[in-house]
Every structure is written in structure tokens, then in C-alpha cells.
Structure 1
Amino acid sequence: MDKHSSEVDKIPQKRMKTYGVIGVCGVVGNLVARVLMDHGHQVICTDIHSSDNCPFLYTLNGYNTQICLNEHPESFFKSSDYIIPPPSLKRSSKLFQKIEDSPAQLMEVDDLILEITPNKPVICITGTNGKTTTTTLLKHFCYNAGFKPTEHGFMTLQGNVDYIPPLQCRLDGDVAVVETGTEGNKGDLKFILDRCHPSCGLITNINPDHLNHNQDFMHYRLIKGELLEELRGRTVVINGDDPAVWGLVSNKNYDGKVVSFGVDHPPQGKSKKECCCGREIDLNETISGVGYYLCECGLKRPIPNYLATNVEGNSFILETDNNKIEMEMSITGLHNVYNALGAIATGHEILKIPLEDIKKYLKTFKGVPGRLEYIHKDKDMNLIVDYAHNPSGVETVLRELNKTYDKLAVVITISSESGETGDLDIIERTIDYADFIIPASYYSRLASEKFISSGKIILPPVEPEKFRDGTLGATAEQVIEGLKKGLRCDADALVCIGEAAVKYKENIKIFVNSEDINRFKR
């Protein structure tokens, strides 16, 4: 035997530490376990829920970990060197006391975030509308260019708040492209960004659609501005056609690199928007909330670094300082041109993907499920679902559909984040673009009563029961009842709009494919 080898064998080997994760059936616990295992740590997991009540268990397939469900066994506490509870666990609880009494060392989620930092570029995308499509499109560019973006993997979860983006940044991958949202409160975005360590940021737009009752637009805009404070001189990609975004950058005298995008397109309407100076700006809109503007204070639309011209259908000419290249999309709508521009600018500037390659990748992007998604097509009426859940998002979607269809019926399943003001605004904007309006949710029905004189409101036979869970305003039954009314309308297309439309998409498909549907057609 080799003498050197025998000497090495005598050296005591350091035992690998074991991390115990409590609450693996929850989103945060699930991500914590995967982050630890992606970084080579030994992990055991536990949860009081059964496998039937552990909706994201599939994300752990392929990982080598012991999972104890239905209880927190004594062996879990004895085998763990560190125990990480969910942030929601109260310190006064018996379980927390049991952790403290165990031989294991308590580790909070924030301790883990400090210990494991993102070892990759992190791109944080925020804004009021378009975040999900822009994020998904940029990740599509990444995959095609040979990068592996981190994915939180929760199929039914948007995952843009709280600890989800920071933990997603730390999963296995070459780049983190994360959607970052807020609950409309000061510090929401800062909480996420402080833990993400972004290399770059992107702001799609800022519209007054997510305001809480006691907030003003200036306050909400400053929340989104927390991204600029976090970047501290790094690159930010912004929608220059939005005076709220451009005013934020100008007002903060941002000292990093600013890359702007915008479109050269005939205005589709007029509105007003508050400038950073406090005045109201006349806005010649290309889509809701963005367009051409000039304020008395001197704020004016910049010449975009990435400009879309000659927008026709799904194609446009992309103009930059050094290039002029024709782009073609498989998704429709001027709002998606904006989404594409944000993704293109970020992909080219930050990830250095050549524009000619981006051109190929853009054409193969089929969109995000639940965004102008066609559920059923026939000669009588097309059925579409869309996730839009705030006034400007609803207006943008309906304005686009108006270009294709002569008569439009809309089923509204929304409960606005802005309460009664937002619910009223959604109905009012829908009236401008729809021929028939079916309020399926309790709160949309309540708001629609003030617009009965429009002649466009069709009330379901039974008033919907009161239901609200964030922007999820309708139950599956209420959605189907709304569709039944919509099918009787003399329209070319029926669009079911809101979070419930997407959440209960499978219920809609089952209903549409059933023989009973013919009883409700006009």
C-alpha cells in the first residue's frame, strides 16, 4: 500500500453538515431546500401537511433529500445541524420553542441569503404592466443563446414578491431573470432588491393601477424608483415613452447607464399623467399610459436607444445607433412590441446576444399562457382568456382586440387592487371598447350598476356571491355563469378577462368542449 495514501486515510474527515428545512410544502421552504441542495449541501425536509396538501412537491423530483410529511419527527431535530423555519413561524409557537431547545443551530432565511450570494448576473424586471411577458421573453432569448436562467418552477404561481425572487436568484443557473413586484407599499421592492443584488434593472412602465386606497401616484412611482436606488450606477433599461419612468430617472439624476426604448407609432388616444414636478402632462397615447409628451418643467420624451418603427401587424423595424433590422413576432399587439423592445435591449446590452440571433429567437416565442390565449375558435365566435387585472392592462388588451373584431363581448372576473375606484375604472374603460359586458365577479357587478345606462351591461340572472382573494375576484362557478351569458351575445369574440379567467382555464375548456355548450350559443 502507498505510504502517503495510508497516512491520508488516518486524517479525520470533516462530516458534512445537515440542514433541516421546516415547511417544505410552502413556497419559501421549498425554495430554501432547493437552494441548499443546488449549492451541494445535505438537506432533510419536513412539513405537517400530507402529500395531498403539498402542491409543489413535484419541484423536488430529482433531488436527493429525505422528506418527512404529516409531522415533525424527533429524528429530524436530532439529525439536523442547522434548522431553517419558514419566516411566517411565530417565535412564540411551540414549534419554534422546540427548535431552540434542540441541539441544532437556528438559521433564519435571511441568514441563508447572506451566506449564499448569487454567483451569476441578476436582472430584475419591474413595472405595472408587461413584467411577466418581458421576463418570459428574455428567458426565452437566454435559453436559445445557450444560457440557463434560474426558474422557481412553480407552475401555478407568478412568484414576484417576498422571498421568491431572492431565493430564485440563488438556484442553479447561468443568469437570473426575475420578475419583481410590490404590494404597493414603501419598501416592498427594496426588500426584494436588497436580497437579489441586481446587476441590471428594467422598468416596463408605471401606471396608477396598483395603488392602495390611501396612496397617491407619486408615492407609488417612488416605490418603483427603489430599483434605481439599488442599482447604484449600474445599467437600467427603461420605457422612455412613459413620462412616469423617464421623470423618475431624470429626477434622480441617475448616474449609471440608461438604455431607453420606445415606439414610433400614431397616437391611439389622449390622456393625462402626473409629472414628477406635480403638473399633469398631456399624453398622446400609443398604448394606455405611454406615448408622446412634453411638460412645462422641460421633461420630454427622449429619443429611444431602441426604437420600433413601421409597426405593422406582428412586425416592426428595430432602429438602434448602429443597426436597422426587421423584427417579426409570433405574438400580437403594440403592447407586445413594447415588451419585446425591453427584452431585446436587455438581452443585447447586458447578455451581449447579437441582434441577428435575437431576431431568430423572437420569431419562435409563442407568448405566455393566459395572455390573449385562444381557448376555442369556430365560425361563430372565438373564445379568449387574458390575465389583465388592472385598468390600463384591460384597456390595452381590449384596444388590441378591437383592431381584429367588429363586435366584442367581455366577461369580467376582476376584483381590483385599488378597490372601488379601480373596479369602476375597469368598467368605464371596458365600455369604450366592448359591445357587451358581463360582470361575473361580485365587485365588477357592483361597479357595473353605475353604468347600466350604457346599454352594454348584461347582468347574470343571480347576483354573484361576495368573493375576493387579491385580484382573484370570481369563483370557477361565477366564471362559467358569465361565459354562458357571453355566448348568447351577438359578438365575433368573447374574452374572459382577469386572474380567475386564467386560474380556471381548464374549467373553461371542459365547459367549451362539452355538448352542453350548444344550449348557450346564440
Structure 2
Amino acid sequence: MNESDFDKNTTFGVIGICGANGNLIARILKDRGFNVIGTDMSSEEDCMFLKSLEGYDIEVFHGEHPIEFFKKSDYIIPPPSLPKSAKVFDIIKEEDIPILEIYDILDIFLPNKPAFGITGTNGKTTSTTLLKKIIKDSGIKPVEHNLVNMQGNAGFIPPLQARLNGDVAILEVGTFGVPGTIKRMVDAAHLSSGLITNITPDHLDELGGFMGYAKVKSEFIQSLNGKQIIVNANDPTIMGFIRDLDFNGEVITFSVDETPASVSKKECVCGEMIDLKEIISGSGYYFCKCGLTNPQTDYVATNIDLKNKTFDLHTPEGKLEVKMMLNGLHNVFNVTGVIIAAHEFFKLPFNQILESVATFSGVEGRMEKVTTIDGKDVIVDFAHNPAGVKTVLGEFKKIFGDFTTVITVSSESGKEGDLQIFNSVLELSKYVVPASASSQKIASDLINENPELKEKILLDHVDSFVKKGTLGATYEEVRDGIKTALTIDCDKIIAVGEAATKFKSCVDELR
């Protein structure tokens, strides 16, 4: 079955239209000229993504699944989460209506535009947002999922997004650490090319260690085999997979030439531990006994001036002088990868790309200054895994010197990840305010072992270390953490973690 088998008068009934998948499917079908109606048990007021359906002329039944909905539908599309024992399936059977599952939608209604994907442990959102800006500035329309407050980089969202109206698809590809999910997304989105920013530790609890997680990320490389891929060659994990997976497509490499900040250990794909002279966390200069080492790259960033936010980019076509508004060495990596993607895949001229880069102020929640209170700047950053926190705070220290860090993180890598995050914060910050339950527990243990740390770690008495809610810290915990940081004689405060960015409005109570 393919799209041409359906008459344009066909009416598709979408159950769960207030959910992300149902919303996107309904819009895809309307974009292609079909009739669509929807139903959802949510009320109109509680329909989370209702705004993105505005202008689509879709009849929606709220709070029930009325028989009228089934009578009007030629095909029914249920959400994948709906159990087959649900009453609606009895009605569908009684009315003898054909069912299309979400995989049928992906197989029948194919993308009709070039698709580019961006993955990595850190830097995905900044890179994706910048690339979209460059494309928009060039008069090209990228598809947008328009799901408010939804990052939309996992599950079925990226491949469904690729089927919406637009000239090109630029998709952020993430993972919850489940093997097979990235391969499914890349294949279903029909990506022609992609960018890998880095692979650093994350989701370690679910996958039994770093290499288990890294292998999930390597599915991106496997699925693009024979196509084009743009990679950070300072990351030994990425280059190890490029070699060991026998990638036979076009590999475009880039690197950053900068003095290493530290030396760390990172597991090689061969199983050996290698000494990594880090430029940023997880990326730098490396050599392994298996022969893996830094290659000569196609693009190289040099002469980096973080104060003035400039660098030179050596390309196969000559040297470029890059000016950016973003802070930090990690953003030199992000910007470099995006410049390459815009030029190599979208074929845009460098001068046009550089104009867009120079006016990109960043992504909300990434080194975002929220306010100034009593002369103290309050900044939030989404960094929530060990490498992300270490990189962001390392760059923050280079730029601003002394600062206080409020930790709102509960790591997806469990206790090991929480400890790595805390140790990085302790090393790089002048003062530490643990706001999440996990960071408070670590702080309490460290202070018990070394009471002198009380001068650096500001830990109020806590009766229990119980995580509340789904994030690392609650609104109240973020607010109280920043409030405590404001009492310290330090004029830069950075709150790290997803909770910090989500609850940043708490500063309104502190002014």
C-alpha cells in the first residue's frame, strides 16, 4: 500500500490527537490533502498541543470517543500506547473500519524532502537550532514539529516531523538509551546525511557502562552507511566506530586545534583505556594501542579567541574568519559542525553561512543569563550529564573566573553519574549549592568525611534525600538553591540541570 492508493476524499480518524504522535499524524495527512478528524479523552483546555492544529480545519471530539467519530472515519489510526483491550477496538471491529498503525503511516506516507539529522551526547539542540537559522536566513523552510515545551528528539517524533510541510527536514536525534531506537529513527526519517557532535558518558545505568551507551549512538553511523556523515574527529569514540563499522560513505571530518585543558581516560572501541588530552570533555588528542589516533581532518578550527568570540576555520576552499555570539570552546565545535553541514549538504555559500552564525545568540537554557539580583548574575544551563556539566563549567570558568554552581541534576546514569557531576562542580566552582536530592546526599557524605568542605559546599540540614517529581529538583528546590547562592560573596551564579532551565522563573520571587 502506498499514498496513491488513497482517494483525497478519504477521511482518517486519529485517536489521541492531543498526544504528540496523533497531532503530527493528523497534520501530515492534512498537509497531503486528506480529510482528518480526531478524538481524545482530554478536554479542549487540557489538549496539550491543540495550538499547533490551528488553521488545519480538523474536527476534534474532546472528552470522549463518540460513535459519530467512527461513523465518519474510513480508516482509524490509534496511538501506539493504546492497549488492544481498550473498548475503542471493539467499536472499530463492530463498525468494520480498517486500522492503520503508526508504522503503517511511516511506511505509506514517505518524506518528500531532503532530511539531515544531528545526534551526539551534547550540543545537539544548539547545533540543530543554528542550522535551522542558517537555512531560514537563506529562504529555505525547515519543517517544525511545533509541539510546545516538547524537545522532540526521540521516539516517533523525528521521523513524523520529516513528513510535515517544509522544504527540508533538520532533525535532532536523541535516545533514552534504548538499543535500536536511533536506527529506527534514522531509517524511518530517510536521512541522507548527518552530524555527530560527540559521544560521552550518559544513560550508564540502563546500558551497563559507557561502551553500551556508545554502541546505541553508533547506530547513527550504521544507518547512514553509504551516505554522507560529518563527524568530530577529536572524539576517539566516533572515529573508532567509523573505522570498525566499515563505513563506506562520504566521511567529512572536523577538528579543533587548541591546547588541551586536562588529561583523562576514555574507553576505546577496542576495549583499551586511552589517555585523552582533552580540549573539551571527551574530545581532544588521542592514541590507542589498536592504532586509533587523530586523523588529518577536512576542516580545522584554529586561532580561537574566546574573549572576542572569533576563530579561523580552515576549509578545503580556504580560510574563513568566523565571528559568533556564543560563549565557550564547546560552541566552537558546535558552530564548526554546523558550518560544514550548511555548506556540504545544503550547498550554501560560506559568506551567507557566516552572516547567520554571527547573529545567532544561542538557545534558551544554554548559558542563558536569566537576571541580575543585587549585582549577582544568575545564569542557567541545561547541562545534565557528566560530560556536559564538566564542559560547560570549564568554559564558564575560562570566561568568568570564580562562580557559584547550583546543582539541580539527578543523573540518568545513576549514582555514578551524580558523583562525576558533583566532583566536576566541586573542582571548577568556588562555591557549590546542592539543590537536587542526589547532589545533597553526595554533599552530606563528603562533608562527613571532610568537615572543612562546609566552607565550600552550602548544604542546609536535610532530613531525607528523596527525589521529588520527575526532574532532578523541584521548583522550590531550584528557587531555594539560587536563594542560598545569592547570599554568597560571588557575583556569578550558574544553575545547571534540566530543572534549572524549566524552573528559571523562580528568580521572580527572589528579586
Normalised TM-score (structure 1): 0.93
Q: How does 1:91-110 map to 2 (within 5 A)?
A: 91-110=84-103
1:114 to 107, 114, 118: 107
User: Which residue does the alignment assign to 2:291?
Assistant: 298
Measured against aligned partners, the alpha-carbon deviations of 1:165-200 in whole angstroms (never above 9, x if no partner) come to 010000001111111111112112112122111100
Counterpart of 1:32 in 2: which secondary structure?
A: helix
User: Which residue does the alignment assign to 2:69?
Assistant: 76
Q: How does 1:138-149 map to 2 (within 5 A)?
A: 138-149=131-142
Alpha-carbon shift at residue 71 of structure 1 (Å): 1.0
Indicate yes or no: 2:438 matched with 1:439: no
2:180 to 176, 181, 187: 187
User: Which residue does the alignment assign to 1:457?
Assistant: 457
Q: How does 1:182-331 map to 2 (within 5 A)?
A: 182-313=175-306, 314-331=309-326
Preserved contact between residue 460 and residue 482 of structure 1 (Cα < 8 Å): no
C-alpha distance in structure 1 between counterparts of 2:460 and 2:358, whole Å:
41
Indicate yes or no: 2:342 matched with 1:343: no
Alpha-carbon shift at residue 132 of structure 1 (Å): 0.7
Preserved contact between residue 119 and residue 195 of structure 2 (Cα < 8 Å): yes
Alpha-carbon shift at residue 154 of structure 1 (Å): 1.7
| Aligned amino acid, residue 365 of structure 1 | F
Measured against aligned partners, the alpha-carbon deviations of 1:49-101 in whole angstroms (never above 9, x if no partner) come to 11221121111111111111111111100000011011000001112222222
Indicate yes or no: 2:501 matched with 1:502: yes
C-alpha distance in structure 1 between counterparts of 2:14 and 2:463, whole Å:
45
Measured against aligned partners, the alpha-carbon deviations of 1:432-477 in whole angstroms (never above 9, x if no partner) come to 111111111111111222322334211134457623566x211111
User: Which residue does the alignment assign to 1:47?
Assistant: 40
Q: How does 1:163-174 map to 2 (within 5 A)?
A: 163-174=156-167
Preserved contact between residue 8 and residue 35 of structure 2 (Cα < 8 Å): no
Alpha-carbon shift at residue 102 of structure 1 (Å): 2.2
Q: What fraction of aligned residue pairs are identical, expressed as a percent?
A: 45
C-alpha distance in structure 1 between counterparts of 2:377 and 2:324, whole Å:
21
Measured against aligned partners, the alpha-carbon deviations of 1:388-432 in whole angstroms (never above 9, x if no partner) come to 000110111111111233321111111100111111111011011
Preserved contact between residue 18 and residue 42 of structure 2 (Cα < 8 Å): yes
Indicate yes or no: 2:466 matched with 1:466: yes
2:353 to 358, 369, 376: 358
Q: Which moved more, 1:297-306 or 1:172-181?
A: 297-306
C-alpha distance in structure 2 between counterparts of 1:339 and 1:115, whole Å:
35
Q: Which moved more, 1:96-105 or 1:306-315?
A: 96-105
Preserved contact between residue 130 and residue 339 of structure 1 (Cα < 8 Å): yes
Preserved contact between residue 78 and residue 103 of structure 1 (Cα < 8 Å): no
C-alpha distance in structure 1 between counterparts of 2:465 and 2:291, whole Å:
50
Alpha-carbon shift at residue 216 of structure 1 (Å): 2.3
Counterpart of 2:79 in 1: which secondary structure?
A: coil
Alpha-carbon shift at residue 294 of structure 1 (Å): 1.3
C-alpha distance in structure 2 between counterparts of 1:231 and 1:213, whole Å:
25
Alpha-carbon shift at residue 278 of structure 1 (Å): 1.2
Indicate yes or no: 2:126 matched with 1:128: no
C-alpha distance in structure 1 between counterparts of 2:182 and 2:70, whole Å:
35
Measured against aligned partners, the alpha-carbon deviations of 1:112-156 in whole angstroms (never above 9, x if no partner) come to 111111111111111111111111111111101111111111231
C-alpha distance in structure 2 between counterparts of 1:62 and 1:366, whole Å:
31
Counterpart of 2:424 in 1: which secondary structure?
A: helix
User: Which residue does the alignment assign to 1:476?
Assistant: 475
Change in 2 beyond 3 A, CA 1:172/1:280: same
C-alpha distance in structure 2 between counterparts of 1:132 and 1:143, whole Å:
16
Alpha-carbon shift at residue 298 of structure 1 (Å): 1.2
Counterpart of 2:178 in 1: which secondary structure?
A: coil
| Aligned amino acid, residue 368 of structure 2 | E
Indicate yes or no: 2:136 matched with 1:155: no
User: Which residue does the alignment assign to 1:511?
Assistant: 509
Preserved contact between residue 221 and residue 248 of structure 1 (Cα < 8 Å): no
Indicate yes or no: 2:364 matched with 1:369: yes
Change in 2 beyond 3 A, CA 1:230/1:210: same
| Aligned amino acid, residue 458 of structure 2 | I
Measured against aligned partners, the alpha-carbon deviations of 1:176-233 in whole angstroms (never above 9, x if no partner) come to 1111111112112112122111100211100112222551222222211111221121
User: Which residue does the alignment assign to 2:3?
Assistant: none
C-alpha distance in structure 2 between counterparts of 1:116 and 1:341, whole Å:
34
Counterpart of 1:484 in 2: which secondary structure?
A: helix
Alpha-carbon shift at residue 15 of structure 1 (Å): 6.9
Preserved contact between residue 260 and residue 305 of structure 1 (Cα < 8 Å): yes
C-alpha distance in structure 2 between counterparts of 1:357 and 1:439, whole Å:
44
Change in 2 beyond 3 A, CA 1:24/1:465: farther
User: Which residue does the alignment assign to 1:6?
Assistant: none
Unaligned stretches of 5+ residues in structure 2: 1-6
C-alpha distance in structure 1 between counterparts of 2:273 and 2:17, whole Å:
49
| Aligned amino acid, residue 484 of structure 1 | K
Q: Which moved more, 1:95-104 or 1:487-496?
A: 95-104
Counterpart of 2:147 in 1: which secondary structure?
A: coil
Structure 1 segments (4+ residues) deviating >4 Å: 461-465
Measured against aligned partners, the alpha-carbon deviations of 1:344-364 in whole angstroms (never above 9, x if no partner) come to 111111000111111101001
User: Which residue does the alignment assign to 2:21?
Assistant: 28
| Aligned amino acid, residue 55 of structure 1 | M
C-alpha distance in structure 2 between counterparts of 1:15 and 1:384, whole Å:
51
| Aligned amino acid, residue 397 of structure 1 | V
User: Which residue does the alignment assign to 1:18?
Assistant: 11
Q: How many residues align?
A: 498
Preserved contact between residue 78 and residue 104 of structure 1 (Cα < 8 Å): no
Indicate yes or no: 2:408 matched with 1:410: no
User: Which residue does the alignment assign to 1:486?
Assistant: 485
| Aligned amino acid, residue 40 of structure 1 | G
Q: CA RMSD in A?
A: 1.5
